[in-house]
């Protein structure tokens, strides 16, 4: 028991790094996959047989509700195949038992600072046997459908696994694309009461008695596509989406105490917001967003700076941002204007890939038209080569 508590504490501790506010968000969608099932027998006479691992399918509805940013409840309602195959020299035995399973695991996210979020999965499952068959071929083929006479109608077990989510926007809806690898272990004896009490007829013999226990095991590989169906701020976001981008309005926050200047650092804006000060209609200037030479391709070390603006937008669900691209005066004026627009669009595309809805973003390129310093030195030109993030709000 102490080891289990330490394990849970460790999961919470290592998963505490977070980037996007998902608390209270509910995702729903389809889940499909395959399972390699087998039985674990306690009676040595059965367990000595060599089991062939076969592939069966699973399909159903999956959900995920974020209790915190890094712990979620992840239920599934699945139609899943279980059973086994035994191939010996003188006979072949095959069973296929299909279940409706209700899985009730919790997911512990390990890292939330990128679009790919790995997590650990642990929780119980409850299965109800629905259909299937048992067969044996020992020269003659005997086959019977699944019934209460040859399988327990209920299965209860535990599922342990690992997974990874990718956050995407699907038709403007926040979506989680998931891949999971899990091990399931049954806790209930799946032999029926009739078999255990010697009241059941065998496939190729008269009434018989079963020895020991038979429990389900399986390795599962599955994919899911979960769409955001509800979030604490969804109503506010929908109201914002109906408004045209570009209209500047003040918030209901009290009088701003922010010192007036052309633009601010992201750290200053984050600090002002934490104090409850009005940051709307302010601009964030970044001089450390770099691109490949004469291209609109972001360099990898620039993305972490943009992620800070993503974090701000996830904290403030009622704001929108216009991205402004600027250059210095080197080169052709028309070329600089086109390059600045393509680069501001590259920042826009990256923020969308990080989960920001397109309706909350816009971008503009200004080329060399809006310098903040004279283009008469390398230092001044470096200040003019910048990306600005203008914070807006709509009512």
CATH number, domain with residue 178: 2.40.160.20
Distance CA 214, CA 385 (A): 69
Report how far residue 234's alpha carbon sits from residue 252's, in angstroms, rounded to the nearest whole number.
19
Do 251 and 205 share a structural domain? Answer: no
Specify the pLDDT at position 157: 96
Token pair 């195949």 in the structure block, residue? 81
Do 184 and 252 lie in one domain? The reply is no
Structural domains of the chain, count: 2
Burial 344-375 (b: 16+ CB within 10 A, else e): bbbbbebbbebbbbeebbbbbbbbbeebeeee
Residue 110's pLDDT is 82
Per-residue pLDDT at 253: 44
Tell me which DSSP letter residue 204 carries: S
Which pLDDT value is given to residue 172? 64
pLDDT at 393: 74
Cα–Cα distances in Å, from 264 out to 1, 279, 310? 52, 10, 16
DSSP letter (8 states) at residue 113: S
Low-confidence ranges of the chain (pLDDT < 50): 1, 3-5, 7-20, 201, 204, 233-255, 395
Q: In this predicted structure, what is the pLDDT of residue 245?
A: 36
**Could you list the residue range(s) of the whole structural domain that residue 16 is in?**
11-230
252 in the same domain as 223: no
In a domain, 3, yes or no: no
Q: Are 143 and 203 in contact (CB under 8 A)?
A: yes
**pLDDT attached to residue 194:** 66
Q: Are 341 and 205 in a shared domain?
A: no
Structural domain contains residue 163: yes
Contacts of 7 (CB under 8 A, 6+ apart): none
């Amino acid at each position: 028991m102490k080891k289990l508590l330490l394990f849970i504490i460790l999961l919470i501790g290592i998963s505490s790094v977070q980037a996007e506010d998902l608390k209270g968000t509910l995702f729903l969608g389809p889940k499909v996959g395959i399972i390699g099932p087998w039985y674990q027998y306690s009676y040595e006479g059965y367990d000595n047989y060599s089991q062939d691992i076969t592939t069966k399918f699973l399909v159903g509805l999956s959900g995920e509700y974020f209790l915190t940013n890094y712990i979620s409840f992840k239920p599934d309602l699945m139609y899943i195949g279980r059973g086994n195959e035994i191939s010996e020299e003188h006979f072949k035995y095959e069973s296929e038992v299909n279940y409706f399973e209700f899985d009730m695991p919790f997911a512990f996210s390990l890292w939330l600072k990128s679009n790919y979020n790995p997590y650990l999965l642990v929780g119980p499952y409850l299965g109800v046997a629905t259909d299937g068959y048992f067969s044996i071929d020992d020269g003659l083929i005997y086959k019977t459908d699944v019934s209460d006479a040859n399988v327990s109608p209920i299965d209860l077990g535990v599922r342990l696994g690992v997974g990874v989510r990718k956050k995407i926007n699907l038709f403007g809806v926040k979506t989680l694309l998931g891949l999971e690898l899990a091990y399931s272990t049954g806790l209930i004896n799946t032999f029926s009461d009739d078999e255990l009490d010697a009241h059941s007829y065998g496939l190729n013999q008269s009434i018989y008695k079963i020895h020991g226990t038979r429990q389900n095991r399986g390795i599962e590989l599955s994919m899911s596509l979960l769409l955001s169906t509800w979030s604490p701020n969804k109503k506010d976001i929908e109201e914002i989406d109906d408004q045209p981008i570009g209209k500047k309005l003040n918030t209901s926050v009290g009088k701003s105490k922010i010192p007036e200047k052309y633009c601010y650092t992201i750290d200053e804006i984050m600090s002002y917001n934490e104090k409850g000060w009005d940051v709307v209609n302010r601009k964030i200037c970044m001089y450390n967003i770099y691109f490949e030479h004469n291209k609109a391709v972001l360099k990898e070390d620039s993305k972490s700076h943009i992620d800070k603006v993503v974090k701000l937008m996830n904290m403030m669900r009622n704001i929108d941002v216009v991205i402004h691209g600027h250059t210095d005066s080197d080169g052709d004026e028309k070329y600089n204007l086109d390059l600045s627009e393509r680069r501001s669009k590259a920042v826009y595309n990256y923020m969308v890939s990080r989960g920001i809805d397109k309706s909350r973003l816009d971008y503009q390129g200004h080329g060399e038209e809006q310098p903040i310093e004279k283009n008469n030195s390398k230092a001044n030109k470096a200040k003019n080569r910048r990306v600005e993030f203008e914070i807006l709000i709509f009512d």
